[in-house]
Amino acid sequence: MNYTLSSLIFLPLLAALVVLLLPVRLERGIKAVTLGGTLLQLAVALWLYLGFDGTAVANGQTGYQFVEKLDWIGFSLGSLGRFQIEYFVGVDGVSIGMVLLTGIIGVIGVISSWNITKNIKGYFSLYLLLITSVMGCFLALDFFLFYLFFEFMLLPMYFLIGMWGGPKREYAALKFFIYTLIGSLFILIVMIGLYTSVIDPEATAQQMGLIGQSVPASLDLIRQVQQMLQQGAISQADLVRTFSIPAMMEPANFIPGSLLHVFSGVSLFDLPIRFVAFLLVLAGFLIKVPSVPVHTWLPDAHVEAPTPISVLLAAILLKVGGYGLIRIVYPVFPDAGAYFSTFVGGLGVLSIIYGALCALAMNDLKKLIAYSSVSHMGFVLLGLASLTNEGVNGAIYMMFSHGLISAMLFLVVGVIYDRAHDRMILNFRGLAKRMPAYTAFVVVAFFASLGLPGFSGFIAELLVLLGSFSAPEATGMLPRWMAIVAVIGLLLSAAYYLWALQRMFFGKYWIFPELRGKARLTDLTSREYLMLLPLAVLAFVFGIFPHLLLDKTGMTVTGFTELVLRNGQEQLNILQAILHK
Amino acid sequence: MEEQAAQLTQAIDSILAGAGSLVPELLLALFFLLLVTLDLFKSKTVKRLLPWVALTGLFSVMVLLVLDRHVAEVQFLNLLRSDGIARYAGILFSLTGIFTILLSLQNPKIEKRKQGEGRGEYYALILMLVLGLNLMAKSVNLLMVFLAIEVVSIASYILTLTLKEEKRAVEAGLKYVLYGTLSAGVMLYGMSFFYGLTGSLDYTLVSFWRSLLDASPLMVTVAAILVFAGFLFKISAAPFHFWTPDVYQGAPMPIVALFSTGPKMAGIIVIMRFVAAFADPTIASAFSDVQLFLGIAALATLAVGNFTALWQRTPRRLMAFSSVSHAGFLLMALLAFGSDYTASVLFYMTVLLFMNFGMFLFLQMAEEDWQVRTLEDFQGMGPRIPFAGIMALLFLLSLTGLPPLAGFMGKLLVFSNVWEAYTATGQPMLLVLLVVGILLTGVALFYYIKIPYHLFLKRNQTAENLVISLSNKLLLVFFALPLLVFFFKPDLLLHWIEKLLA
């Protein structure tokens, strides 16, 4: 077996252990180990990116590459039969971009953390734990493993915001923790429902004695087991229940009589119980995305978090939400995904517009950028809800591109905050005169974010808009007005960025009198160049050569949309009976 | 006359035949007597040896139970049953006793009472309590249940009053005795109803439940409510939890830790044996109200425990309500009639044992060594006690039920059983319990995180490092390690439990 993915996940963890063992006073050593660990991870991620075959057929159910599958926990629970939890990781077109992004941002975040002074050992070990769990989330294909990493992200983040954050850090950290925990509890409910309903056909065949232990099952045999399962010809004791996400995508793996089976006929609040489950997981991931109206934790967390943590939060943590929608929610509940597409798309459009309007009203530059994140994440929802190839590709591209650009945005805010200990837009004017290089990067970041052609954000927005505009014909999802309203969001984002640029950076140099004493507005240092320049170059490269990512995602997305649309339609037909009761 | 004599010999024979299964209990009683006798000696060396004698007793009982291989049969004229459940529970109770003594050895207040006054009785009573717990887990007859519960209660009353020079201890002891005797009386009254209605105290008989079906439903309901009042009191479930915070505030920390685990686990097993009859669908459907009533009690317990904990300002009271909420989870697990939940419940109790003792050890250190009385006193202490602080964080997260700690695994198993039972029966109460139980985890985080919040997020001027004794450090690790192991490899424990139950 190939251990590339495990090394990606556990390299930072290993580095964290080394950091914990180093004595507190070896500050340089701690930083060096952290940087080394993340650099190594980036190298592996790059190697993975280059080795990933974008032409292979994949659809979420099959076609994973670099797969590692090991038995982890297996137990039988009385009448419930056997349970199986696997260490199951793999990469496909959806996750490859996220993995690369996590590698890049991991390194940038360390560079940006270089001037942290308080409790360095604690900070960097938590940082590395956070990177480990984010990476684990993107690679896990077992729901239990995914949930483990998903929940484990909360804790380091809580302490990173709560111990190294701004004045209201305790409040923001707690709010972040509670919000996302509630989200993950919704997910937990559905996870329990799913794993008690889904079997692993291969392991069941082994349990039944059809094939020997640890002999892989042929496709025919798997079909046969699935047929026997649906006919109720397998005894309870032989069923091996699984957390495997790909197994959950196959309707034939659901145990007849289980509540989440398409034929269960159970309804709750006049909706099929599958729809209720969909709405629960959807809510869980929407909190993480975040989408309006469950976004309110984000501005607080961003404003209070130290710069590097804001970068991590915006660039990779939020992506877990969108990623979870693509990896789990839609393929496992395609019927509900198709049924609620207007609802999800509507939330996307609402986030785009509402986030942009909020950003317009903000006086704090960091809050402005936080709300712009909400607005941009709306595009991910819109693209995904369209279920067109363009739309879903656009959603993935948006996550990747926003990862690069939002990192840059929070870094430039950090630069001004480091110097002036203030980031109110109205307290500064004409900064371009004093800090020309800094202003140049701000301009690049702002323009990249508002979707100027030539930067990655443009490609993403274009794809999403194309997808959602063509959706009514192509897939029958989304009303047409949604794409049109989303365009207004683009205009608004141009408005808030340009307005902020004009107010803060152009005109005659002036800063708020009270700041004059303490603010030392020097231009960028070489460390700041080191973290801003790569991001700017990457945003540009991925704006000019979109195929760098689209070639990798394309096949998976095609398979994904086909799977979701086909299964969705079939299952919706069955569920119509409940819906029109 | 002849006939009676024959019956008597038969009875004596069956008692003698069953005596072998009572070896652990007899051993405990023997060590109890030994401790009481040794306590008569004035020599300081003997006094110093007392806890170690008690530890030896408990440890040998545990070893005996681990190695022991007994057939699951009913002994003593259908009074006791030494099956896998009782055996595993016996191991848990021995561990509870051992942990209690280990914590007591680390507690300066208990250890340094003038000239070891009352030392013998303290350790002897712990043995007595463990003996009672073992009997509770074995009883399958209402009268025996009552007697076993009383043994535990009487030992508990005295242990609460260990530090009798402290006012709050006296208050707690008095309240506990009053509530406790009242609930015992009520329970006994209910049991007499059952006896009157069925002519039997053996609730494992099918005829017991059949005759209840024929009896007037009102009488059965009254009797059931009275009996369950006693059971719920013992596991500190709502609405019979009022003694919990006061007792937790007044008793010495090791005893609080003991109360939060031992009697609760034993009480759950008593209820589990009582409702075991409902695994039979015909009986379950005839008594479907039981699920409803107990479901409401579980919901109330969960709600009261979690929401009241939010307003607590001292760690002891916080842990009291946390223990109430865990009673709710365990009670909920018992309602998944039809799904085989024994293994899940035993797993959950094992995890509860480790996390509660770990947390109470931390609180004991905080109270005795760092003079922490309220949650605010923890302010900014994290950097001064990084190691203990991180351990406390582990215990609290496990209590909340977050991965990667065994508390999560325990809850996952319980919730799976409830989901399965809901799939099988479609009882809406089960779904409500499941959803409420899971969502209350969010509330639980809110209060559990208060301690790490004050420890690490709040800042404090003083920065001198606090010294923690090596033995305390080792104990913290000892309690924390299983929480990680049982998360990553729960099958180790589950396989063993399955094997014992088979």
Between CA B326 and CA B329 the distance in angstroms is 5
Q: Is the model's pLDDT at B167 over the cut of 70?
A: yes
Q: Kindly state the DSSP code that residue B465 receives in the 8-state scheme.
A: P
pLDDT in tens, A236-245: 778 888 888 9
The answer to whether the Cβ–Cβ distance between B340 and A193 falls below 8 Å is: no
Q: Which residues pair with B434 in a beta bridge?
A: none
Mutation pick from B443, B485, B491 vs chain A, by most beta carbons of A within 10 Å, is B491
Q: How confident is the model at residue A475 (pLDDT cuts 50, 70, 90)?
A: confident
pLDDT in tens, B358-394: 999 999 999 888 888 888 888 888 888 888 999 999 9
Between CA B380 and CA B459 the distance in angstroms is 4
Mutation pick from B376, B402, B496 vs chain A, by most beta carbons of A within 10 Å, is B402
Task: State the smallest CA–CA distance between residue A441 and chain B in angstroms.
Answer: 34
Query: Which residues of chain B make contact with A79, given a CB cutoff of 8 A?
Result: 338-340, 420
The answer to whether the Cβ–Cβ distance between A192 and B416 falls below 8 Å is: yes
The answer to whether the Cβ–Cβ distance between A259 and B439 falls below 8 Å is: no
pLDDT in tens, B206-228: 888 888 888 888 888 888 899 99
Q: Which residues pair with A510 in a beta bridge?
A: A429
The answer to whether the Cβ–Cβ distance between A75 and B495 falls below 8 Å is: yes
Q: Using CA atoms of A24, A26, A29, A35 in order, give the dihedral in degrees to the nearest 10.
A: 50
Alpha carbon A13 to its chain's center: 20
pLDDT in tens, B87-102: 899 999 999 999 999 9
The answer to whether the Cβ–Cβ distance between B445 and A181 falls below 8 Å is: yes
Under 8 Å between Cβ of A554 and A393: yes
Helix spans in A52-153 (H): 93-112, 120-139, 143-152
Query: Which residues of chain B make contact with A182, given a CB cutoff of 8 A?
Result: 439, 442
The answer to whether the Cβ–Cβ distance between B457 and A173 falls below 8 Å is: yes
Task: State the smallest CA–CA distance between residue B404 and chain A in angstroms.
Answer: 7
Query: Which residues of chain B make contact with A148, given a CB cutoff of 8 A?
Result: 403-404
In this predicted structure, which of A58-62, A492-496, B73-77, B358-362 has the lowest mean pLDDT?
Answer: B73-77
pLDDT value of residue B70:
61
Between CA A313 and CA A34 the distance in angstroms is 18
Task: State the smallest CA–CA distance between residue A117 and chain B in angstroms.
Answer: 15
Average pLDDT over residues B32-36: 91
Nearest by CB to A178, which of B431, B446, B457? B446
The answer to whether the Cβ–Cβ distance between A152 and B404 falls below 8 Å is: yes
Q: Which residues pair with A364 in a beta bridge?
A: A424
> Among all residues of chain B, which has the CA nearest to that of A256?
B423
Q: Is A269 left (phi over 0), alpha (psi -120 to 50) or beta?
A: left
Beta-carbon count within 10 A of B461 CB? 5
Name every residue in B having a CB less than 8 A away from some CB of A. 338-344, 383, 386, 397, 402-404, 408, 412-413, 415-417, 419-420, 422-423, 426, 431, 434-435, 438-439, 441-442, 445-446, 449, 453, 456-458, 488-491, 494-495, 498
Beta-carbon count within 10 A of B13 CB? 10
Higher model confidence: residue A457 or residue A520? A457
Nearest by CB to A189, which of B420, B438, B494? B438
Under 8 Å between Cβ of A109 and A45: no
Average pLDDT over residues B270-297: 83
In three-state form (DSSP H/G/I as H, E/B as E, the rest C), the secondary structure along B229-289 is: HHHHHHCCCCCCCCHHHHHHHHCCHHHHHHHHHHHHHHHHHHHHHHHHHHHCHHHHHHCHH
pLDDT in tens, A549-562: 888 888 888 888 88
Say which residues have a Cβ less than 8 Å from residue B167's Cβ, sequence separation at least 6: none
Q: Which residues pair with A70 in a beta bridge?
A: A87
The answer to whether the Cβ–Cβ distance between B441 and A151 falls below 8 Å is: no
Say which residues have a Cβ less than 8 Å from residue A399's Cβ, sequence separation at least 6: A97, A98, A101, A319, A322, A323, A380
Nearest by CB to B449, which of A76, A152, A177? A177
Query: Which residues of chain A make contact with B415, given a CB cutoff of 8 A?
Result: 188, 192
Q: How confident is the model at residue A401 (pLDDT cuts 50, 70, 90)?
A: very high
pLDDT value of residue A72:
87
Q: How confident is the model at residue B72 (pLDDT cuts 50, 70, 90)?
A: low
> Among all residues of chain A, which has the CA nearest to that of B459?
A163
Q: Kindly state the DSSP code that residue A89 receives in the 8-state scheme.
A: E
Average pLDDT over residues A524-544: 90
Beta-carbon count within 10 A of B268 CB? 28
For A364, the 3-state DSSP assignment is: strand
Average pLDDT over residues A518-526: 80
Pairing verdict, β B80-81 and B74-75: antiparallel
User: Domain residues of chain A, as ranges?
Assistant: 340-544
pLDDT value of residue B200:
86
The answer to whether the Cβ–Cβ distance between B457 and A162 falls below 8 Å is: yes
Under 8 Å between Cβ of A325 and A290: no
pTM (two decimals): 0.91
Under 8 Å between Cβ of A316 and A276: no
Nearest to B359 by CA among B316, B392, B405: B392
Between CA B189 and CA A450 the distance in angstroms is 76
The answer to whether the Cβ–Cβ distance between A178 and B340 falls below 8 Å is: no
Between CA B59 and CA A110 the distance in angstroms is 51
Between CA B251 and CA B177 the distance in angstroms is 13
Portion of chain A with pLDDT greater than 90, in percent: 36
Read off the tokens for A576: 């119509």
CB-side exposure of B132: number of CA atoms within 13 Å?
A: 22
Average pLDDT over residues A420-445: 87
> Among all residues of chain B, which has the CA nearest to that of A163?
B457
pLDDT value of residue B424:
82
The answer to whether the Cβ–Cβ distance between A79 and B339 falls below 8 Å is: yes
Name every residue in A having a CB less than 8 A away from some CB of B. 72-80, 119, 122, 147-148, 151-152, 154-155, 158-159, 162-163, 169-170, 173-174, 177-178, 181-182, 185, 188-189, 192-193, 195-196, 257-259, 266, 268
Nearest by CB to B445, which of A76, A152, A177? A177
Between CA A549 and CA A547 the distance in angstroms is 5
- Give the count of Cβ contacts less than 8 A between chain A and B: 100
Under 8 Å between Cβ of B119 and B50: yes
Backbone angles phi, psi at A233, to 5 degrees: -95, 5
Under 8 Å between Cβ of B457 and B363: no
> Among all residues of chain A, which has the CA nearest to that of B279?
A79
Between CA A435 and CA A483 the distance in angstroms is 39
Query: Which residues of chain B make contact with A170, given a CB cutoff of 8 A?
Result: 453, 457-458
Average pLDDT over residues A126-132: 93
Nearest by CB to B489, which of A73, A119, A162? A73
Under 8 Å between Cβ of B82 and B47: no
What's the burial of B464, exposed, middle or buried (CB within 10 Å: 0-12/13-18/19+)?
exposed
| H or E element that contains A85 | strand A82-91
Between CA B220 and CA B206 the distance in angstroms is 16
Read off the tokens for B489: 């490899």
Q: How confident is the model at residue B11 (pLDDT cuts 50, 70, 90)?
A: confident
The answer to whether the Cβ–Cβ distance between B419 and A178 falls below 8 Å is: no
Mutation pick from B378, B412, B433, B460 vs chain A, by most beta carbons of A within 10 Å, is B412
Q: Is the model's pLDDT at B148 over the cut of 90?
A: yes
> Among all residues of chain B, which has the CA nearest to that of A71?
B489
Beta-carbon count within 10 A of B481 CB? 13
The answer to whether the Cβ–Cβ distance between A181 and B441 falls below 8 Å is: yes
What's the burial of A467, exposed, middle or buried (CB within 10 Å: 0-12/13-18/19+)?
buried
Measured N-to-C along each axis, helices A436-450 and A389-420 cross at an angle, to the nearest 10 degrees, of: 160
Amino acid at B242: F
The answer to whether the Cβ–Cβ distance between A76 and B498 falls below 8 Å is: yes
The DSSP-derived string for A46-73 is HHHHHH--TTS---SSS--EEEEEEEEE
Say which residues have a Cβ less than 8 Å from residue B293's Cβ, sequence separation at least 6: B224, B225, B228
Report the Cα–Cα distance between both ends of chain A, in Å, rounded.
Answer: 51
pLDDT value of residue A393:
92
Average pLDDT over residues B264-284: 86
pLDDT in tens, B317-360: 999 999 999 999 999 988 888 778 888 999 999 999 999 999 99
Between CA A147 and CA B403 the distance in angstroms is 8
Amino acid at A469: F
| H or E element that contains A204 | helix A201-208
Under 8 Å between Cβ of B230 and B186: yes
B394-419 CB burial, b ≥16 within 10 A, e <16: bbbbbbbbbbbbbbbbbbbbbbbbbb
Alpha carbon A253 to its chain's center: 27
